[in-house]
Amino acid sequence: MPILTLTLSANAQLKDEKALALDLLNLSAQVLHKRAEVTSVVFQRVALGAWWVGDDPPSSVLAQLDIRITQGTNSEVEKTAFMAQAFALLPTHLAQGQQLHATSYISVQELPATDWGYGGVTQQQRRELSIQL
């Protein structure tokens, strides 16, 4: 039940948002072994002049991709591979002539199973229910 949140600078022009969302879903499934049917992808935009690197607003595209997963469900190797592959994936979805700024970030945020869930049930409760069934 991961949630991927991709924040982009307003100047980002995506070729096809749905294709990018599907590629992110597939990447999380292939590398982190997450189930696509319970994975959410959210795109957000930050207005021009509201995102700075150093003391200048960059002309290239800025991105921050965060994925929230349950703590302990992935190895360091898997998380590292996800970050590298996601960083390589993002520029392939930008319009021709656009470049991804080097200070774009990818993060894997691990949350304890007791601290999040979906459908009103924590991940810990889901684990306990599956053990009892």
pLDDT in tens, 103-114: 999 999 999 888
The pLDDT tens digits of the residues spanning 5-16 come to: 999 999 999 999
CA distance 37 to 111: 20
pLDDT tens, 73-99?
999 999 999 999 999 999 999 999 999
Q: Would you say residue 57 has pLDDT above 80?
A: no
- CB–CB of 57/48 below 8 Å? yes
Complete domains list, the chain, with CATH:
3-132 (3.30.429.10)
* Cβ 7 vs Cβ 100: under 8 Å: no
- Tell which wins on pLDDT, 37 or 48: 37
Reading the block at residue 73, the tokens are 């469900």
DSSP 8-state code for residue 8: E
Q: Which H or E run includes 107? A: strand 105-111
Give the pLDDT confidence score for residue 111 in this predicted structure. Answer: 93
The H-assigned helical ranges of the chain are 17-32, 76-89, 123-132
pLDDT of residue 133: 41
> Is pLDDT of 124 > 90?
no
Where does residue 32 fall: left (phi above 0), alpha (psi -120 to 50 degrees), or beta otherwise? alpha
- State residue 122's pLDDT score: 83
HSE-CB of 88 using CA atoms within 13 angstroms: 7
CB count, 10 Å around CB of 33?
10
Once rounded to an integer, what is the mean pLDDT over residues 26-35? 97
- How sure is the predictor about 132, in pLDDT bands with cuts at 50, 70 and 90? low
